[in-house]
Amino acid sequence: MKLSIKFRVTLLCTLLAAVIASAAMFFQLVNEQRMLMDYYLDSLSSTAQLARDDILYEDGELDIDRNLDDLPSVHVSLFNLDGDLVYGRRLVDLPFSADVMRRCAGISSGEWFVYDSLLQFDGGGEFWLRCGISADAAQNLLDGRSRLTLLALPALVLLAGLGGYGIAYRAFRPVTRIVRTAESIADGEDLKKRIALTGPKDELYALGHAFDDMFERLEHAFERERQFTSDVSHELRTPVASILAQSEYALSESAGDADRREALAEIHTKAEGMSGLIRHLLLLARMDAGQVRPQRECIDLGLLAEMAADSFQPAADAKHMRFDLSGCASIEILGDQTMLLQAVMNLVENAVRYGREGGQIRIFVQKEGDNIRLCVEDDGPGIRPEDMSHLFERFYQADTSRHGEGSGLGLSLVDRISKMHSGRAEVESRLGKGSRFSLILPLTGGTP
């Protein structure tokens, strides 16, 4: 049988209240009993002291003040040493014992507390003074309070149970809201729902806020997944359509040998582009899954920049562009050479592709505190301000007129590689003035 948390909290509150109330009542009864015993002893001993002052013995005769009969609650009796009653009445049949309070049954009925005192007078007379007080009156009052307390115990436990349930209901109401929101989002149809708890900012508020943050990340993840699927489909549709068209033409009877060779060259070009796209996608997927980790080694970033420039020198020559490597200082860091070379080559490729024909690409490396900044700067048309925040998103291409020239994954790889080295990628650009892409890395290479 599964018990809800609210029921368990209510049950625990009820049990705890019952235990506390029972313990409190027990200690109250014990304390009242002790106070009652103190009351009896004080009453008897003080009455015995008053009686001593009202009893005189002269010339073998006792002189007893009749005010002893007026003492409230306490009965006074006087006996000789043989136990014969001299004054008052015999309450109990009990041997005498000086200065001790004792409880015993009365001769006629009821129970009594008695206190004996030995009186010794100068004339040689000795008597026992016995003071007695009924145990019934005060005990009846105590028993009544005990019965009232026992009757109140179930009511207190019931009240504690109702109060515990009310507290649990109010306390777990945000949890119910969290569960219902999570259930409504579980099918993935409405990822825009949020718990949006209000009220005191307690632990449940923090839990709800954490769930809202998680839902927001899930929404963004699903959006990215949908966008990713759409982008991949879009990127592959064009080359696949071109390959199909060229292959159908090459297989047609109207195509000559030269036409077939041209078609095969076009198919090869599109296949290479698709191969590069798939390679980048697999690399990003492996990075996201944590299957690729940087292999730390000592790397000269200046040399790395020169290697990247050499790789794209033919492409730059084709556009009559030149590289300025005068600022490539020889600075070493700890990092993965293959990954960082890929990142720098992507930045250089971007600069060559989108830079101004006949322009200049400046690459420099400089130290900034505990970091190193590697910059690739071109003098191309620049980037629109509204595109700046999206440049490192996958498949995003600011220049839609050149959409077919790249996969849209190069800058995403740069950003991912920089983060894997505990660094970051930045971009600065002004329309008509060119762009500067920076790779900022810690000297130590970051946390492995």
First to last CA, the chain: 49
By three-state DSSP, how is residue 421 classified?
coil
Question: What whole-number distance in Å separates Cα of residue 101 and Cα of residue 98?
Answer: 9
Q: How many residues does the chain have?
A: 448
Q: Is the pTM of this model over 0.75?
A: no
Cross-strand pairs, 117: 129
pLDDT, one tens digit per residue, over 71-123 is: 667 888 889 888 889 888 888 989 999 999 999 988 887 888 999 999 888 77
How confident is residue 316, by pLDDT bands cut at 50, 70 and 90?
A: very high
User: What distance in Å separates the CA atoms of residue 221 and residue 232, rounded to the nearest whole number?
Assistant: 16
Nearest to 423 by CA among 302, 335, 306, 330: 335
**Tokens 């971009």 appear where?**
427
Is the dihedral angle over the CA atoms 87, 93, 96, 99 positive or is it negative?
Answer: negative
Whether the per-residue pLDDT at 447 is higher than 50: the answer is no
Positive or negative, the Cα torsion across 387, 392, 396, 397? positive
* Residue, of 30 and 144, whose pLDDT is higher: 30
Is the confidence at residue 309, as pLDDT, over 50? Answer: yes
Q: What single string gives the DSSP state of each residue in 41-98? A: HHHHHHHHHHHHHHEEEETTEEEE-GGGGG-SSEEEEEEETT--EEES---------B
Q: Quote the pLDDT of residue 221.
A: 72
Question: What integer pLDDT is reported at residue 16 of this predicted model?
Answer: 79
Residues 438 and 376: their CA atoms lie apart, in Å, by 6
Closest CA to 394 of 406, 419, 411: 411
Q: What pLDDT is recorded for position 401?
A: 41
What is the Cα–Cα distance from 75 to 352, expressed in whole angstroms? 121
pLDDT band at 400 (very low <50, low <70, confident <90, very high): very low
pLDDT of residue 402: 43
- Give CA 430 to chain center in angstroms: 45
Each residue's pLDDT tens digit, 129-158: 999 988 875 666 666 666 666 677 777 777
Burial letters 191-228, b for 16+ CB under 10 A, else e: beebbebeeeeeebeeebeebbeebeeebeeeeeeeee
Work out the percent of the chain whose per-residue pLDDT is above 90: 16
Amino acid identity of residue 296, one-letter, is R
**Structure confidence at residue 361 as a pLDDT band (50, 70, 90):** very high
